[in-house]
């Protein structure tokens, strides 16, 4: 079964992603600095694809698989464990 996004909404701190299987994910915007710092109009100008969400103007791509696995922006450096 392939799960994809059906809707994306935002509030001040969270991106809400509705999925084809009925789940709604609440993702902290802090996980994606480009989205957190973007203007509202740019943040809401996205395209849904079978595998994820794309923001052309922000050069941001987020995979549904990554969200389901709890991964944020992979470009951010994480401290060594």
The span from the CA of 9 to the CA of 28, in Å, is 12
Report whether 24 contacts 17 (CB < 8 A): yes
Task: Tell me the average pLDDT of the chain.
Answer: 90
List the structure tokens of 3: 């799960």
- State pTM to two decimals: 0.86
The span from the CA of 55 to the CA of 19, in Å, is 18
3-state secondary structure at position 52:
strand
Q: What is the pLDDT of residue 75?
A: 63
List the structure tokens of 79: 């401290």
Please report the domains of the chain, with CATH numbers, ordered by start residue. 5-68 (3.30.2020.40)
Report whether 6 contacts 19 (CB < 8 A): yes
Predicted confidence (pLDDT) per residue in 18-47, tens digit:
999 999 999 999 999 999 999 999 999 999
């Amino acid at each position: 079964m392939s799960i994809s996004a059906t809707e994306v909404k935002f509030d001040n701190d969270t991106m809400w992603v509705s999925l084809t299987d009925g789940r709604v994910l609440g993702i902290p915007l802090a996980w994606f600095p480009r989205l957190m710092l973007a203007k509202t109009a740019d943040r809401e100008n996205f395209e849904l694809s079978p595998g994820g969400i794309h923001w052309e103007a922000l050069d941001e791509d987020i995979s549904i698989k990554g969200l389901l696995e709890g991964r944020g922006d992979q470009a951010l450096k994480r401290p060594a464990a």
